[in-house]
Amino acid sequence: MFRILLNPPDLRDPAAVRRHLVLSETWADIIMRQVPEKSGGLCSAIILPEIFPEMRVSLIVNRTASQIDREKSICTRALEDSLRFSLRNDDLVKRAAKRNALFNQPAQPDPGAATVDAGSDATNILLASLPSIYEKGSLLHLLSAVEWTAYASVDAAELRAWIQGQRSPERAMLESIPHCLPPRGDIVSSSGSPPERLEAGILPAGEINLTRSPGGPVPAGPLRYAVVVGDPDEPPGRLGPFEVDAKYCGRAHAFSIGDESSPYLTITVRPRCATTGVYDLDSWTMIYCDPADCTSEGVEKAVMAAIASDPAVLDFARLSSNTVIPRGPYLVTIK
């Protein structure tokens, strides 16, 4: 594994943050396609902007002749050559921009289908909820609010100028990472959240309202309510099931449905969960009810409201925070 060291943008400038993210992901797509070409198919690379403003690279030896040291050296040289690769072909940039736009676009209904499936809908809703959780102007708000359409409009000349500005004879651009993850003991004794998360600030628990639209972040889907709660801060990346997962995700639960004007009834549902990370700086879990279990809007609303007010979920959100503000829960309504 390697880290591609990049010059940070002005984190106080939303346009600069958005430009850095979009251009770095476009360049990453091009590099990932250059590494196999430059190594004769021996190597592959996976590049993610998981440590914004830098990028993390996983190099893969696709086939081995039991000469792993030599093969690793070939792969490293292919990566280094790709970082020096000159983007003379504008079409190369256009294809990368198109691929990234498709990758970041919200899931759309299949041809002939009226809506996306529940799992895809949950992911769309969770990603669309994040800008409503972080304080405006914070880095995590800016990162989570970048629209997928920004990736489609990358200008080749702008990308080349940005890459040139990242290169410097005074410093190496590539840095080896000795371990994919620190040992378990190091995590327990770690210093906590990344500073970007500490400085982001989140809004108090409450309700989030989202509106569906054909070209928007939440296209047509079956879900009407969901609950979002923050994951623990040490570390941001998920290593195992958290308390919310263990209690709700795929577990059968009985809920009492009804009010004073209608008879109470007990139903059993298995809530589902979706998770997402924000560039290795934060992570969140969303709990939702499969339409096969919550067959009406009233049932779905009652189940999600019960989960949002569950003392265990409230306590989990409080314990998962490193500030006085709990990390949720947020009851999301989608219309």
Grade residue 306 by pLDDT with cuts at 50, 70 and 90. very high
At 89, list the tokens.
């072909």
Give the least confident one: 43-57, 124-138, 229-243. Answer: 229-243
* 250 φ/ψ sector (left φ>0, alpha ψ -120 to 50, else beta): left
Question: pLDDT higher for 95 or 263?
Answer: 95
Grade residue 205 by pLDDT with cuts at 50, 70 and 90. very high
pLDDT in tens, 31-68: 999 999 999 999 999 998 777 888 999 999 998 888 88
Chain-centre distance for alpha carbon 165: 27
- Asked whether the beta carbons of 81 and 35 are under 8 A apart, the reply is no
User: Can you tell me the distance from the alpha carbon of 247 to that of 244, in angstroms, rounded to the nearest whole number?
Assistant: 5
Checking if the pLDDT of 230 tops 80, the result is: yes
pLDDT in tens, 245-295: 778 999 999 998 865 555 678 889 999 999 998 887 888 999 999 999 999
Grade residue 242 by pLDDT with cuts at 50, 70 and 90. low
> In the predicted model, what is the mean pLDDT of residues 127-151?
93
Checking if the pLDDT of 144 tops 50, the result is: yes
Question: pLDDT higher for 281 or 182?
Answer: 281
∠ CA(312), CA(314), CA(317), 5° rounding? 110
Chain-centre distance for alpha carbon 276: 5
Checking if the pLDDT of 183 tops 50, the result is: no
pLDDT at site 233? 61
Task: Note every long-range contact of 40-48, with CB atoms under 8 Å and residues 24 or more positions apart, other chains counting.
Answer: 42/71, 42/74, 42/75, 42/78, 43/71, 43/74, 43/75, 43/78, 43/79, 45/75, 45/79, 45/82, 47/4
> In the predicted model, what is the mean pLDDT of residues 301-317?
93
User: Cα torsion for 315, 329, 221, 141, to the nearest 10°?
Assistant: -130
| pLDDT more than 70, % of the chain | 89
Q: Which residue from 22, 18, 68 is spatially nearest to 42, judged by alpha carbons? A: 68
